Structures are given as C-alpha cells and as structure tokens.
Amino acid sequence: MLQEIRSVRRKTVMKSGRFLVQTLADFIGRQSLIGDQPVFDRSVFPWIEELENNWQKIQAELNEVLNSRHSLPSFHEVSPYQKRISKGDNWKTFVFYVFGDRFEPNCHRCPQTARLLEQVPSLRNAGFSILAPHYHIPPHRGPTNGIVRIHLALKIPRDSQDCWLRVDDRILHWKEGECIVFDDFYEHEVQNNTGEERAVLFFDVDRPMRLPGRLLTQLLINVFKYSAYVKDPMKNLHFLHRRTAE
C-alpha cells in the first residue's frame, strides 16, 4: 500500500513538473523577439559573422585539441545527466563555459577561440562537440527555451548528407565555416552515418526577449547554477583536468 502511494505521488510530481516547465516555456515563447520556431536564420544574431569569418582559426585550435583526443572526456563524464544519450567514447567534449562560468584551463589552451567567445553577447555555455563515426545521439531536449543554441561547423564528413541534425521536423546539415541556429528546447537528435568524425563549436546565448521574459530566464538560470545540474559538470571538469595533468 505504501509503495502504491509513493508511486502515485511520484507520478503526480513528475506530471506537475512537466506542466510547469511547459507553462514557463510557453510564456518565454510569447516573450521572444525573434519568434518561437525550431530553427532561426543566422541573421537574428549579426555578431555571428565575426565567428564565421574566423572559423579557420577556431578549427586550427580544434585540430590541436584532437591530437590528444584520447584524453578528452566523454560528454557523460562531464555531465552525468547525459548518460542516456552519451555512451562509451562516442561523444567527446572540450568545454569553455558552463552557464556563464569560464573554464580557464581550456580557454588558455585555445586563446583564439576564447577571445572570439568573449565577444559573444550573453554567452551561457560553449565548447567543442566531437561525434564519432556511426554514432547516434537519441532524441532529447534542452532545459529551457530562454537560451538559443548555435553550432559553428568545424569538421564535417565529406558525405555531409549522411550526417545530420534534426530539430522538431527540420533536418539540417552542417557546412564548414557556417553556423546553425536553433532552439534546443524542441526535441532534437543527431546522426552521423559516415566513417568520419563530426566536430562543431556549440554555444548557447540568451534569447532576445521582452523584459519579463529576460527576468524569468535569468531566474531559471540562477536556479540551474546553484543546482547539481551545473555544479557537478564544473566539479567534474576540474577533476578530469587534474587527472589528465598528472
């Protein structure tokens, strides 16, 4: 009987939580100054041009990082909350920012990339995302639509049609030196059906919104920053860096 009560209570809490998350997302969507669609034109952020103009400098630093790819952590080693979608050594990451907090060792190692990221307004998260050949990142969603995700393509398989990103009902293909801008609160997944790895610089920025939406997003991000969702990745990054340096 007690177990049944706990099960009902757990389901009620989960259902209430999903309702609250969706209610907040609907409000933020109405506050958006750039629309509320899954994918955006790159022109919504004019400063993207500076990154695209310097993409080869970023690519050169990525290549240096990839020379020691064996020491790079898998995504779930940094963020344990990603274990469902990150398996083995198939999805590696090299983090620069976690919800506004800069990870100095990696920024020091890639000074050109760090300099360019410093110029990005309202930057929240950033890092290299490196996907192994023949790996699939299952459908998932980001925590809030108060931020917008951007991918700058740095290393894309020659058979680019077999390496894609789905956001809601849109299938997107990366092109080296260009950015893809999307709302990762929509369900999305990645498939690399090729024999080559795929690498992008991913980064999250605040969605342009009216004042009430900006205030709500800042409140949500403050909650994230003081939760294990953010504290664990930063703690793990420092631990993994010390282990590698030994």
At 1-33, the pLDDT tens digits run 545 544 444 444 334 446 677 889 999 999 999
pLDDT at residue number 246: 60
Is 157 in a helix, a strand, or coil? coil
Residue 157's φ and ψ, nearest 5 degrees, are -55, 150
pLDDT at residue number 140: 96
At 44-81, the pLDDT tens digits run 999 999 999 999 999 999 999 999 999 999 999 999 98
Cα separation, 80 vs 175, whole angstroms: 30
* Residue ranges making up the domain that contains 220: 2-245
* Sequence-separated (6 or more) residues with CB below 8 Å from residue 57: 112, 113, 116
pLDDT at residue number 244: 76
Please state, rounded to an integer, the average pLDDT across all residues of the chain.
91
Tell me what the mean pLDDT of segment 223-234 comes to: 89
Burial pattern 35-60, b for ≥16 Cβ within 10 A else e, equals: ebebbbeeeebeebeebeebbebbbe
The number of distinct structural domains making up the chain is 1
225 pLDDT band (50/70/90 cuts)? confident
CA–chain centroid gap for 14, Å, is 24
> For residue 39, what is the domain's CATH number?
2.60.120.330
Asked if 166 contacts 189 with a C-beta cutoff of 8 angstroms, the reply is yes
At 119-153, the pLDDT tens digits run 999 999 999 999 999 999 999 999 999 999 999 99
Does pTM surpass 0.85? Answer: yes
Tell me what the mean pLDDT of segment 214-224 comes to: 92
Burial pattern 71-109, b for ≥16 Cβ within 10 A else e, equals: ebbbbbbbbeebeebbbeebbbbbbbbbbebebeebbee
Q: Which two tokens stand for residue 77?
A: 């080693």
